[in-house]
Structure 1
Amino acid sequence: MVVGEIAQEKEVVVIGGGPGGYTAAIRAAQLGKDVLLIEQNHLGGVCLNEGCIPSKTFVHAAKQANRWGHLQEIGYQFEVNHFQFETYQSYKEKIVGQLRSGVEALCKANKIEVMYGHASFISENKLGIENGHHFEVVNFEQAIIATGAKPVYTLESETYQLNSRQLFNLQQLPKELILIGSNYIVLEAAFAYKALGTKVTLIMEEHKGFSFDQEIEKELRRQMKKRNITFYSGVKNVELAENENGVECSFVSEKNERTLISAELFYKEEEYVGNIEELGFERLGVSVDQQQFIICDDQGRTNIPNLFAVGDITGGPFFATKAIKQGKVTAEILCGKPSELDFTWMPEVIHTQPPIATVGMTEEAARSAGYSVITGTYPLLGNGYAMFSGNRDGLVKVIIEKESQRLLGMHMIGEGAIELISTAVISGEMVARDEDLIFPTYAHPSLNEGILEAMEDTLGIAIHKAPKKGKKVLNR
């Protein structure tokens, strides 16, 4: 190990080059700070290189398999309908490489020094960075810790068990796949692998459940049934064992029957802990919780005045959306700018087929919180654009507070939901009332009209939805 005689001097050091880290580095540089960004592996972090981008690229590829029937229906003819996994792998690597190069170029354009290696704190203002036999010391004024989180799980099988980073990065398609859990990773994998021909079984244990509004969950279950995804919910006593062809999974079903299924591979939803190993926190006394997540306030401040934290290292929910916003706000705070975080209207999106997007309160949560609510729903089956584009599955649901008529939540399942949910996010942030969403004109034909129809349904005046018997039109 070679130790540099002269330490570098930096105003801001960011440890971790994932979405939260590189966003914080760029924002601090925009505000005039001399920034050093330290990354142990590749810029973009787990999200770009192993998680978000590879998984969504795989989901995108799988989604196209569901389009063959519609394309033939409107006139296209194909002689071959075969998914070449090797071609897909090359495509995925190309996309990841291009995005990583983009992050590198942005850092360079913002005059951010990037250093690769493992960082550890020597003191509250000094870091050591080790890369092979090279060791460098950096003095800094402020630091942002963005080292992320890692999955931890009980190892049931060394051969047939996948972790979340392996699940969407296989070298070939499995014939059968068992998925145990209820989070977005499980759901995205279920729909994607099934679309490409894998036999998928989804198992949800009795203490687990979906967090969606009841109407969305009902439609989700219908879509799983439609696509022949075998689904068991409320099961208990799950046991896994290897056999010569893969793994066997046995459990007690809701009907109190012992069920046995087999598969080539399986994935079980994991827990996560913060990546703080070897950061030298014991030298500083940085406060962490039992899961090794850094304890900080809503502006990213830790208990050490000049140290901040952003992203997954601060605990869940583990969304890049959250990390990016934290990175921007924290950089602004340490640069002396007034800035704040509020995740009340942070959307959750799941790239199932069709996708799910949700923000704000569910109907159940709103009623439990004491609100008197009015709801409106609109099935996309009645939408002209959804009809001719072959995307008729899904619905839009809105929750309105009865007294003030303000929007409390919007929930969607259907093509375009992930893009459309921004309408609800902006509306919620602006404390929009029903009239604010009903008064504007909406492009026709478009999926956007589903939002208008759902809002109008709260008043009983939706045009393209048959009225329910006994439902009165509200004249407000």
Structure 2
Amino acid sequence: MVVGDISTGTDVAVVGGGPGGYVAAIRAAQRGLDTTLIERDAFGGVCLNHGCIPSKAFIHGADVAHAARTAEDIGVHADPAVDAGQMQSWKSDVVDQLTGGVEKLCKANGVNLVSGTATFAGEHKLRVAHGGQGQGSESIEFEHAVVATGSRPVEIPGFGFDEGPVLSSRDLLRMERVPDEMVVVGAGYIGMELSTMLAKLGTDVTVVEMLDDVLPGYEEDVKRVVRTRAEALGVEFHFGEGASEWSDDGDGVTVVTETEDGAESEYGGEAVLVAVGREPVTDTLELESLGLEPNDDGFLETDTEARTDVDHVFAVGDVAGEPMLAHKASKEGIVAAEVAAGEPAALDYQAVPAAVFTDPEIGTVGMTEAEAEAEGFDPVVGQMPLRASGRALTMDDTDGFVRVVADEESGFVLGGQIVGPDASELVAELALAVEMGATLEDVASTIHTHPTLAESVMEAAENAMGQAIHTLNR
């Protein structure tokens, strides 16, 4: 029997239950709005179910195995066996705990949860098709809508993700065994994180990249540290080569690459991981029913209140454009919900930190020195090499540095770049400095615990002021 169509109403309809969507829904409900959150896959979105959390779980597992295997210098001798199936089970437990927590939080805050695929059917109307035979559909009338449908991996011609050994990042994170060999297409942050992880687990990794280096958009000295460490782990890079085709040779795949000059090369592996980026999911929503049109890249353009060109419709997260970061999505979701509730709220992207969970990690926020100069500042830069950090030495992990960029005249911190252990954590201090308008003196005069990596942030600030104690002043 087919369940008949029903019609309901809500103040705010949120389409997509990832870090942008569920946060928007909870905040809207907290502000007294009747809120409905629609998700077609699993609450928590790609981040919790298939991306950020699963990848970091596997990266941690790989780090543990690698650290045990390579600790002879500090007197630890071990040859750990990696059980990928058990690691997969542990990862799934972590994911289940977090996604279950999202549902509980939504319900505790009074959010109406709806499972199904939503499409717009008018300026104030959604249609939700429920999965499963005979489950029917429903219509939801809304005053405000928040589009938070996220992104999906980009396919390249001839490398469809429905073709056996051609894997997306989501496919790889379902692995039950560690592959012996893997070809990775793309050396951006996803490709580098997963290549490093695989190498630490014992996979022979070959990376092909059309550009001339890893991690486009990062400064040369930042990515050099990461690239050098990856090469030391055995990752083999081939730059200036684009993947053109692949074939199944029975025992695995052969990937053919081509340079701009037409020179071809072949690389073999058990499978090929395509990690060339992500694209917004806006083509499934029937946005024309709203009178809303994505830009040429598929993104929904928004203003500082997260509004689209349709005043009562907001867009948050990956669908709203770069940077595609979960924490940026959550902040946009909060702003959208508060604006819908009639409160003053606005977005300020100057202090959005970013992290790459490679080995070592990268953490950045605000402006680089070159960007500060382009904006008309006269920047002063301070740097602390981790080889001079007592804590880094005791961790046997001294590759990298902390760099602080400030305005020379006022001393205001404009940004920072960190490459080293726990950079994803350390960057929070510099993000706070940028957000609150702190000066170099504020950071340098704050007493930091010894011995810690965080002291390196203080030392970098002192270095910019010409008064560093534990490193030579510039």
Regarding TM over 0.5, the answer is: yes
Distance 1:459 1:316, change over 3 A: closer
Match of 1:38 in 2: 38
Match of 1:182 in 2: 187
Matches for 1:33-72 after TM superposition, within 5 Å? 33-69=33-69
Shift of residue 348, structure 1, vs aligned partner: 0.9
Shift of residue 410, structure 1, vs aligned partner: 0.8
Shift of residue 316, structure 1, vs aligned partner: 2.4
Q: Partner letter of residue 4 of structure 2?
A: V
SS in 2 for 1:317: coil
Quick one: distance in 1 between partners of 2:264 and 2:280? Answer: 37
Match of 2:149 in 1: 147
Shift of residue 50, structure 1, vs aligned partner: 1.0
Quick one: distance in 1 between partners of 2:242 and 2:289? Answer: 44
Shift of residue 207, structure 1, vs aligned partner: 6.6
Contact persistence 2:185–2:243 (CA under 8 A): no
Distance 1:257 1:295, change over 3 A: closer
Gaps of 5+ in 1: 472-476
SS in 2 for 1:285: coil
Quick one: distance in 2 between partners of 1:407 and 1:254? Answer: 42
Contact persistence 1:287–1:302 (CA under 8 A): no
Quick one: distance in 2 between partners of 1:237 and 1:90? Answer: 35
Quick one: distance in 2 between partners of 1:202 and 1:364? Answer: 29
Shift of residue 272, structure 1, vs aligned partner: 3.8
Match of 2:137 in 1: 135
Match of 1:317 in 2: 323
Matches for 1:69-148 after TM superposition, within 5 Å? 69=69, 78=78, 81-131=80-130, 132=132, 133=134, 134-148=136-150
Gaps of 5+ in 2: none
Quick one: distance in 2 between partners of 1:68 and 1:278? Answer: 46
The one-character-per-residue Cα deviations of 1:92-119 (angstroms, maximum 9, x if unpaired) are: 1111111111011101111111111122
Match of 1:274 in 2: 280
1:372 correspondence with 2:371: no
Select the residue among 435, 441, 459 that pairs with 1:435.
441
Distance 1:373 1:138, change over 3 A: closer
Shift of residue 145, structure 1, vs aligned partner: 1.5
Identity in percent: 35
Match of 2:4 in 1: 3
Shift of residue 222, structure 1, vs aligned partner: 2.3
Quick one: distance in 1 between partners of 2:385 and 2:212? Answer: 30
Match of 2:219 in 1: 213
Shift of residue 20, structure 1, vs aligned partner: 0.6
User: Over aligned residue pairs, what C-alpha RMSD do you find?
Assistant: 2.4
Match of 1:192 in 2: 197
Shifted more, 362-371 versus 377-386: the winner is: 362-371
SS in 1 for 2:359: coil
Quick one: distance in 2 between partners of 1:254 and 1:447? Answer: 43
- Name the TM-score, length of structure 2 as normaliser: 0.91
Shift of residue 405, structure 1, vs aligned partner: 2.5
1:401 correspondence with 2:401: no
Contact persistence 2:84–2:175 (CA under 8 A): no
Contact persistence 1:224–1:231 (CA under 8 A): no
Contact persistence 2:154–2:275 (CA under 8 A): no
Distance 1:238 1:74, change over 3 A: closer
Contact persistence 1:232–1:253 (CA under 8 A): no
Shifted more, 64-73 versus 154-163: the winner is: 64-73
Quick one: distance in 1 between partners of 2:277 and 2:459? Answer: 40
Shift of residue 77, structure 1, vs aligned partner: 6.1
Shifted more, 404-413 versus 458-467: the winner is: 458-467
Q: Partner letter of residue 27 of structure 2?
A: R
Contact persistence 1:13–1:35 (CA under 8 A): yes
Shift of residue 299, structure 1, vs aligned partner: 1.3
Contact persistence 1:70–1:390 (CA under 8 A): no
Q: Partner letter of residue 37 of structure 1?
A: L
Shift of residue 251, structure 1, vs aligned partner: 4.5
Distance 1:73 1:333, change over 3 A: same
Shift of residue 167, structure 1, vs aligned partner: 2.7
Q: Partner letter of residue 3 of structure 1?
A: G
Q: Partner letter of residue 396 of structure 1?
A: V
Select the residue among 448, 455, 470 that pairs with 1:449.
455
Shift of residue 164, structure 1, vs aligned partner: 2.5
Shift of residue 461, structure 1, vs aligned partner: 3.0
Quick one: distance in 1 between partners of 2:190 and 2:435? Answer: 28
Match of 1:351 in 2: 357
